[in-house]
Chains A and B, each alone.
Chain A
Amino acid sequence: QKEVEQNSGPLSVPEGAIASLNCTYSDRGSQSFFWYRQYSGKSPELIMSIYSNGDKEDGRFTAQLNKASQYVSLLIRDSQPSDSATYLCAVNARGSGNTGKLIFGQGTTLQVKP
């Protein structure tokens, strides 16, 4: 079992719809969770971080964390073609202490069609 799992996609949604991206993780002790957006040929960009169970909203983005079920999701409301990218889920590594080490999923490719 991979430590952080994501469906590779592509996930295709029409413009204006809600895109839902999911991620599961294996280490029940994980405390820090992140979503990165990566456009083709570019480096990953941090868009959301979440540390507590529940929802965290930032503009059109909502991160949801459920530690009991060991999943974290990212909702993108009113999806735009400019949201088309690969979204990476990242979780703090087991035993990472203060090193800041993260485990990244393989990423989900999102396509927003006009």
Chain B
Amino acid sequence: DVKVTQSSRYLVKRTGEKVFLECVQDMDHENMFWYRQDPGLGLRLIYFSYDVKMKEKGDIPEGYSVSREKKERFSLILESASTNQTSMYLCASSGTFEQYFGPGTRLTVT
């Protein structure tokens, strides 16, 4: 079974803090993705990576950056957290097109 893990289920941060969200997959997948999900807005792609050190912007990259130094790990960085980044953050990985999601991190920025 594919296993995607995320570093935290719940996280509370203050405005202006630098926030790191970590995602690890154990299936040797090439592709990894970061989404955020908000009520009424569905899943929105922030960034994705199709190889180590390769990344592409998704639909809403502003205020975020990513890092993929190893194949199994994909990190999302909020450079200076703001209240409008309060959301559920979901990581996914895929070998081809079947994406498998981690449990999610519910981030609250106060």
Contact = CB atoms under 8 A, between A and B. Distances in A.
Given A43-B103, A88-B43, A101 B98 contact: no
Contacts of B48: 99-101
Contact of A34 (B50, B90, B98, B102): B98
Given A42-B103, A46-B99, A49-B98, A100 B50 contact: yes
A104 B98 CA distance: 12
B56 interface: yes
A25 to B, nearest CB: 14
A97 B96 CA distance: 10
A44 B42 contact: no
Residue among B43, B48, B101 with most chain A CB within 10 A:
B43
Contacts of B90: 43-44
B79 interface: no
B19 interface: no
Contact of A100 (B31, B42, B103, B104): B31
User: Could you say which interface size class chain A belongs to?
Assistant: 20 to 34
Interface of B: 30-31, 33, 42-43, 45, 48, 50, 56, 90, 94-104
Q: Which of A46, A96, A100, A106 has the most CB of B within 10 A?
A: A100
A90 B96 CA distance: 14
A100 B43 contact: no
Given A88-B43, A99-B56, A107-B42, A46 B50 contact: no
A98 B50 contact: yes
Contact of B96 (A45, A46, A100, A106): A100
Nearest to A32: B97
A102 interface: yes
Contacts of B99: 34, 46, 90, 100, 102
Contacts of B33: 100-101
A92 interface: yes
Contacts of A105: 42
Contact of A104 (B30, B43, B97, B103): B43
B44 to A, nearest CB: 9
5 contacts: A43-B102, A43-B103, A46-B99, A100-B94, A100-B97
